Structure 1
């Protein structure tokens, strides 16, 4: 039984970008489609926490997406407030996403990677991922992290997927030797 593709709503957070010049958002949509996801919607929002929270609530209430990926507003400039906007919505944080993103970014850009506050979590049953606005950061995140993991994360967050961890049984080698001996 095959599942339908994961539906992703994308949001660009910027005080200066429009739909016409939103390079990061356009690339995000293209890469998500290439990875096998359906882009359910895209919007450009001013970097205002209330607007982001309202958009997430609207998407969750409408049931039009399984995940939301944002681009922009994850740096440390005064107007970068995406993480602060998302934090109160997160029922669960996915700390490993930001850690992995910064680790991979380190290889590409060196110590400046620590200035990224890329983050992810679960809000209202949706996986929500906040990426930097840089097209290179978007490409890195989608190809290396989001593409391989998002479908499984959505299944777990929505309660439709079981845990698929491989458990190994650990035995005490001394006890095994005694039983064999």
Structure 2
């Protein structure tokens, strides 16, 4: 599997989506955290949006980004809980070509050490669509920190061995 890692960082083109009925740019701590961390890790944030938790508006935004050849990764925060308004999984899953089951499993495993059994209410998940990797996290900034530091920072780094997601995304045109 060593062939799936390289000796140099390949910056990825990342879009960040915040799913919220209440946040705006000034209060979007989770989305802003993901932007800051992606940039600090050497990636390019090429798009950022806040979308209300509406299944069809979410699908429209994600569809636009997965059709855009300049976007390789989407980091989504919010809408993954159990309230009636949390529809990110239902909005995004039908668009996936395949799931990344391990992301949600690992997120809940790491999160268990931080919040105990409350992690069972997390519907964090990930998948690929049209060569775009999509990672969906809960809306809290702490959950985004858990996902970034525990999974994404390494898995989006082309140098991480023995393997990472960088070679699996579509090349930028």
Deviation of 1:53 after TM superposition, in Å, equals 1.2
Deviation of 1:61 after TM superposition, in Å, equals 2.3
RMSD, matched Cα: 1.8
Larger-gyration structure (1/2):
1
The count of corresponding residues between Structure 1 and Structure 2 is 160
Indicate the residue corresponding to 2:119 in structure 1: 113
Tell me which of the two structures has the higher relative contact order, counting C-alpha pairs closer than 8 angstroms and 6 or more residues apart. 2
Deviation of 1:3 after TM superposition, in Å, equals 5.8
Indicate the residue corresponding to 1:156 in structure 2: 168
Superposed, 1:69-108 pairs within 5 Å as 69-108=75-114
| Higher share in helix | 1
Partners of 1:146 and 1:125 lie apart in 2 by: 17
Contact 2:34-2:144 within 8 A present in 1 as well: yes
Contact 1:67-1:126 within 8 A present in 2 as well: yes
Deviation of 1:132 after TM superposition, in Å, equals 0.4
Deviation of 1:58 after TM superposition, in Å, equals 1.2
Indicate the residue corresponding to 1:42 in structure 2: 48
Contact 1:45-1:52 within 8 A present in 2 as well: yes
Partners of 1:89 and 1:135 lie apart in 2 by: 26
Deviation of 1:142 after TM superposition, in Å, equals 0.7
Indicate the residue corresponding to 2:138 in structure 1: 132
Deviation of 1:2 after TM superposition, in Å, equals 4.8
Structure 1 alignment gaps of length 5 or more: 161-181
Indicate the residue corresponding to 1:13 in structure 2: 19
Q: Give TM-score scaled by structure 1 length.
A: 0.83
Deviation of 1:62 after TM superposition, in Å, equals 2.5
Q: Give TM-score scaled by structure 2 length.
A: 0.87
Deviation of 1:5 after TM superposition, in Å, equals 0.4
Structure 2 alignment gaps of length 5 or more: 1-6, 158-163
The SS at the match of 2:165 is helix
Superposed, 1:48-63 pairs within 5 Å as 48-63=54-69
Partners of 1:36 and 1:113 lie apart in 2 by: 30
Partners of 2:12 and 2:114 lie apart in 1 by: 28
Contact 2:131-2:168 within 8 A present in 1 as well: no
